[in-house]
Amino acid sequence: MTQTAPPILASTIEKRLKTPSIDVWAFGTLMVCLAVAMPIVWVIGLALTPSGDIWQHLVDTVLGNLIITTLMLMIGVGLGTLVIGTGTAWIVTMCRFPGKRIFEWALLIPMAVPAYVIAYVYTDLLEYSGPIQGIIRDMFGFESKHDYWFPEIRSLGGAITMMTLVLYPYVYLLARASFLEQSVCVLEASRTLGKGPWQSFFKVALPLARPAIAVGVSLVMMETLNDYGTVDFFAVSTFSKGIYDVWLNMNSPSGAAQLACMLLMFVMVLIGLERYGRRKQKFHHTSTHIRELPGFKLSPMLATLAFLACAIPVLLGFLIPAWVLGSYAIDFYQDTLDANYWITTWNSLLLSSIAAIVAIVAGVFLAYSLRLGQSHWINVMTRFASLGYAVPGAVLAIGILMYLGWLDNTIDGWVRNNIGFSTGLIFSGTIFAVTFGYVVRFLSLSFGSAEAGLGKITANMDGAARTLGAGPFATLRRVHLPIMRGSIMTAALLVFVDCMKELPMTVMLRPFNFETLATFVHQYAADEMLPEASLAALSIVVAGIIPVILLSITIARSRAGHYAPEEPHLIEMEEAAP
Amino acid sequence: MTTGLVMERIRHAFGPMEVLQDVSLVAEAGKLTCLLGPSGCGKTTLLRLAAGLESVQGGRILLQGHTVGNGAEKFSLPPEKRDIGLMFQDYALFPHLSVFKNIAFGIKNLTAERREWIEAGLERMGLAKHRNSYPHVLSGGQQQRVALLRALAPEPKILLLDEPFSGLDVTRRAQVREDTLNFLKECGVAVLMVTHDPEEAMFMADHIVVMKDGKVVQAGTPVQTYFHPVDAFVAELFGPMNHFDGIVDKGALQTPFGLFPIPAIPDGEQAKVLVRMEGINVTMGNADGHPEEMPKDCCYTTGKIEDAYLLGRSSHLHIRVPKNHGHPDGEKVLLHVRVSGVMKPESGATVTVWADPKQAFVFAAD
């Protein structure tokens, strides 16, 4: 305890509203940060413990392949989302063509579909026994696989396509926001200086938007690294999958931890990239003159192309999967209902609600504690704790399993020696473990929202409340919470939905025989029984649409010309680097 | 009655930047004390220290005889325990609370008596019909009055005002200022107010503390501050002045208006005489003999109008006069003069000017 006591370090520099008595805020912050940091500390510690020749074995066998596959996946998805996201953002922001108003928000919808769900759907459609290949065989009279060529969906290329289809909205969102923020004057200046619309795009708009796009792409790549469901299903050997294989099949926790550490290095590079992008973003505006965007009127030919360019991502990323799942659900809903659908749904709702509440409470606590002004090293810890979103679920899952296992053994040992009975496993394999994982991973989301919400409240509000006799806690309760209720609710919703969709940690940390919608769908799809689980998959997609709707509303508002102060998903974008 | 607020030898730094150096002041109960100085002089920091929004680093702060902050002991009573009222420059009204709830925010026990006080205050401030409105629908002046009521509602030991009128339209400012002053006098509370507007300080304050670069330059009544500035900085707070520099010779300095006696500065030292723009009087024509309205012991000189500007309530004249009294053909200097009312002589017209000794000040050169 002596080590974790609050710092009475009365730093002379930044000590704004700090209370001089026992500092609950500093102490609480420290506790939350420690709890959140533990899993990662455990992974690193475990990786450093000697583990025989596992590492050498990994180097000899899978490591090279893992690195190459992961890199190719990241680059593929990065490029795909870059082109689709930026391209569609430019088209809907700058051009006028039929359907533009609808595409502005419709292009976001694929975000609602988890990558693993879309992977199951397309596998079902495109595999040898699926309807598409069946039609081809019927039409051309082919007898077997060898009579014709058809792309193999269960491949690296398939994984890249699937993830691109549901992740491009990240890039679209940020690129579009950036294009909207760009002063029209800058673009018009470019036009008057003799550059055509296309040249203006490549010479002015794109370079100006580059930091935002870099942030978007790095977030996409983080999501790619985090993915487990798709690569597992497609048998594409990325790090996330490798970690699970080494852990479960080779039964080597330390080998898995070593892989996890390598994966963390990938993440660090991405965080660096993302930070770099954000840093540059600050030098954006030279002119504050914002006017209605010009809207190039397109010829019928070009308008058709623009329409198709926007329609195809929406069609492939949402409409087809939703339609397939919907029609399956109509035919097979009884099977899903019979397979404990309600209990599964209840489990998902319960876990996600608890995690959302805990994450919000902790996030608000951390953000407010930072606002109160803490010593420098607590600030650093808080920043560190809010990096959770960047850490792939597989890494967190290992860390949490190891950490909780150690905690259980320690408690059990102590109780046995001192009191004389065995406590068994208290935390491992319980709802607590899963919730803990969710909170660690999504804390950055709630923290980021809370920080953004607090940032909009001037420091004088605190001063006014404090001089009127309200202490720090009363100020939070009476002033800040009511003012930022909206953004807090939004953040809670985002955490909730992300928990509903979460797969890799849930698979690993859930109690025995405990199914959530995500694990249920994953299990059924792995057994080639997607139709029987389609109702559950559809439920996840429906939950995922909620934040997209919220986002669309804010975007619709921002279109009127006034800047939308709260863009929930932009806050989510804050995740990795608050 | 115990003295309201005492701040003793306050030092404060933000990182390596020293913003307050050994500042002491007293804000007496029942009086309005004004901290006057340009932006960045540390006056707002001093106010925040008094409120407890900044922790004291050096020096002591006493409120009605009780220590609320002591730098040596690293003691700083948190703002919520100090019983002070602070009105912010931006008013900082709580956007989610109605006018009434804003005002009642700081009252711990909302008795019928306090309720009545609020209602009476709303009535007095012409806000009665807005009691259930939210701050964003109010005008700047109304918000200012709500903020004032809110700060006073918990009956603070001292009221701190941070640039209370700077957010208001110039045309409304004078009226609001007068209303506020009257209201504060009725309340009888000790007030410490921060402003950069000397006219505001003169109008409101019983006591003015002039600050510059984190130090107190002068503390005194408005009359003292205006008529007996301790240095050129204080004198020039009230507007730009005419400077006459030179070397003291036989206990006097040569100015366009003749020799200005300087007993306090030894011969041979650099000195300067500053005369306020409104301290120079002008009559048309070349006065033969002593103008009637001019004091007996005053010297005068003649000059030529260069430019004249009508500003409405006053006029500005630029007059070129000989630099040294009695040498009409020697070097010339330009005088900047403000006269009340309308006066717009032709360029080149001859005028007679003399300086009001009460508006002329002598300082050693920096």
Kindly report, residue by residue over B69-91, the tens digit of the pLDDT.
998 888 989 899 999 999 999 89
Is the confidence at residue A290, as pLDDT, over 60?
A: no
Average per-residue pLDDT for chain B: 88
Nearest chain B residue to A463, by CA = B53
What is the rounded distance in angstroms from the CA atom of residue A357 to the CA atom of residue A142? 56
What is the rounded distance in angstroms from the CA atom of residue B47 to the CA atom of residue B54? 9
| pLDDT of amino acid A247 | 83
Residues of A in contact with B82 (CB under 8 A): 467
At A22, the pLDDT band (50, 70, 90 cuts) reads low
What is the rounded distance in angstroms from the CA atom of residue A112 to the CA atom of residue A131? 25
* Per-residue pLDDT tens over the stretch B87-133: 999 899 999 899 999 999 999 888 999 999 999 999 988 899 999 99
| A458/B74 touch (CB, cutoff 8 Å), yes or no | no
Of A19, A469, A483, the CB nearest to B154: A469
| A19/B78 touch (CB, cutoff 8 Å), yes or no | yes
Q: Please say whether the beta carbons of A292 and A91 come within 8 A.
A: no
Is the confidence at residue A514, as pLDDT, over 60?
A: yes
At B297, the pLDDT band (50, 70, 90 cuts) reads low
The 10 Å Cβ neighbour count of residue A234 is 22
Q: Does B105 touch chain A (CB under 8 A)?
A: yes
| pLDDT of amino acid A506 | 92
Closest-CA distance, A450 to chain B, in angstroms, reads 17
Q: What is the mean pLDDT of residues A145-172?
A: 89
Is the confidence at residue A567, as pLDDT, over 70?
A: no
Of B15, B75, B105, the CB nearest to A20: B75
Is the confidence at residue A9, as pLDDT, over 60?
A: no
Residues of A in contact with B76 (CB under 8 A): 20
Give DSSP secondary structure letters for A510-554.
SPTT---HHHHHHHHHHTT-HHHHHHHHHHHHHHHHHHHHHHHHH
Of A19, A466, A479, the CB nearest to B94: A479
Residues of A in contact with B84 (CB under 8 A): 467
At A291, the pLDDT band (50, 70, 90 cuts) reads low
The 10 Å Cβ neighbour count of residue B109 is 6
Token pair of B95 as six digits? 């956007």
Average per-residue pLDDT for chain A: 82
Token pair of B210 as six digits? 């002039």
Residues of B in contact with A15 (CB under 8 A): 54-55
Interface mutation vs chain B, best among A16, A25, A467, most B CBs within 10 Å: A467
Q: What is the mean pLDDT of residues B218-246?
A: 90
| A20/B74 touch (CB, cutoff 8 Å), yes or no | yes
At A326, the pLDDT band (50, 70, 90 cuts) reads very high
Token pair of B66 as six digits? 């009780």
Q: Does B54 touch chain A (CB under 8 A)?
A: yes
Closest-CA distance, A479 to chain B, in angstroms, reads 7
Percentage of residues of chain B with pLDDT beyond 90: 42
Residue bearing tokens 């010593």: A375
Q: What is the mean pLDDT of residues A243-254?
A: 82
| pLDDT of amino acid A570 | 39
Q: Does B53 touch chain A (CB under 8 A)?
A: yes
Query: Which residues 106-135 of B are in CB contact (within 8 Å) with A?
Result: 106, 108
Is the confidence at residue A258, as pLDDT, over 70?
A: yes
| B88/A482 touch (CB, cutoff 8 Å), yes or no | no
- Examine the predicted complex and report whether its ipTM is higher than 0.85: no
Closest CA to A520 of A277, A281, A280, A348: A348
What is the rounded distance in angstroms from the CA atom of residue A18 to the CA atom of residue B136? 30
Nearest chain B residue to A458, by CA = B92
At A383, the pLDDT band (50, 70, 90 cuts) reads confident
Residues of A in contact with B135 (CB under 8 A): none
Percentage of residues of chain B with pLDDT beyond 70: 96
Of A10, A17, A471, the CB nearest to B53: A17
Q: Does B14 touch chain A (CB under 8 A)?
A: yes
| pLDDT of amino acid A342 | 92
* Per-residue pLDDT tens over the stretch A52-93: 667 777 777 778 888 999 999 999 999 999 999 999 998 888
Q: Please say whether the beta carbons of B313 and B338 come within 8 A.
A: no
| pLDDT of amino acid A5 | 35
| pLDDT of amino acid A15 | 41
| B151/A469 touch (CB, cutoff 8 Å), yes or no | no
Closest-CA distance, A483 to chain B, in angstroms, reads 6
| A12/B57 touch (CB, cutoff 8 Å), yes or no | yes
Residues of A in contact with B150 (CB under 8 A): 464, 468
Residues of B in contact with A19 (CB under 8 A): 78
Residues of A in contact with B78 (CB under 8 A): 17, 19-20, 466, 471
Is the confidence at residue A301, as pLDDT, over 80?
A: yes
Closest-CA distance, B98 to chain A, in angstroms, reads 13
Residue A200 in 3-state DSSP? helix
Of A17, A20, A463, the CB nearest to B88: A463
What is the rounded distance in angstroms from the CA atom of residue B294 to the CA atom of residue B313? 23
Nearest-10 Cα torsion for A196, A198, A199, A201: 120
Nearest chain B residue to A461, by CA = B92
Residues of B in contact with A9 (CB under 8 A): none
pTM to 2 decimals? Answer: 0.80
* Per-residue pLDDT tens over the stretch A458-486: 889 999 999 999 999 999 999 999 988 88
Is the confidence at residue A350, as pLDDT, over 50?
A: yes
Of B83, B88, B95, the CB nearest to A460: B88
Q: Does B250 touch chain A (CB under 8 A)?
A: no
| pLDDT of amino acid A520 | 92
| B94/A10 touch (CB, cutoff 8 Å), yes or no | no
Q: How many CA atoms lie within 13 A of B242 on its CB side?
A: 27
* Per-residue pLDDT tens over the stretch A180-203: 776 666 666 776 776 777 777 777
Nearest chain A residue to B104, by CA = A468
Closest-CA distance, A361 to chain B, in angstroms, reads 21
Q: Which of A8-12, A270-274, B199-203 is least confident?
A: A8-12
Q: Does B164 touch chain A (CB under 8 A)?
A: no
Angle at B164 between CA B160 and CA B167, to 5 degrees: 150
Closest-CA distance, B227 to chain A, in angstroms, reads 37
If you count residue pairs, one on A and one on B, with CB atoms under 8 Å apart, how many are there? 86
- Element housing B355 (H / E): strand B350-355
| pLDDT of amino acid A51 | 66
| pLDDT of amino acid A41 | 87
At A141, the pLDDT band (50, 70, 90 cuts) reads confident
Residue B6 in 3-state DSSP? strand
* Per-residue pLDDT tens over the stretch B324-349: 877 777 788 899 999 888 888 888 88
Is the confidence at residue A21, as pLDDT, over 80?
A: no
Angle at B141 between CA B135 and CA B145, to 5 degrees: 70
Q: Does B60 touch chain A (CB under 8 A)?
A: no
Q: Which of A288-302, A545-559, B107-121 is least confident?
A: A288-302
| pLDDT of amino acid A74 | 93
| B150/A464 touch (CB, cutoff 8 Å), yes or no | yes
Q: Which residues in A have their CB inside 8 Å of a CB on B?
A: 10, 12-13, 15-20, 458, 460-461, 463-471, 474, 478-479, 482-483
Q: Which of B160-174, B296-310, B331-345 is least confident?
A: B296-310
What is the rounded distance in angstroms from the CA atom of residue B157 to the CA atom of residue B173? 26
Alpha carbon separation from B331 to A487, A496, A505, B191, B301 (Å, rounded): 71, 83, 89, 51, 14
At A245, the pLDDT band (50, 70, 90 cuts) reads confident
Interface mutation vs chain A, best among B48, B54, B96, most A CBs within 10 Å: B96
Residues of B in contact with A12 (CB under 8 A): 13, 57
Is the confidence at residue A8, as pLDDT, over 50?
A: no
What is the rounded distance in angstroms from the CA atom of residue A138 to the CA atom of residue B128? 83
What is the rounded distance in angstroms from the CA atom of residue A185 to the CA atom of residue A191? 10
| A461/B151 touch (CB, cutoff 8 Å), yes or no | no
* Per-residue pLDDT tens over the stretch B256-277: 888 888 888 888 888 888 999 9
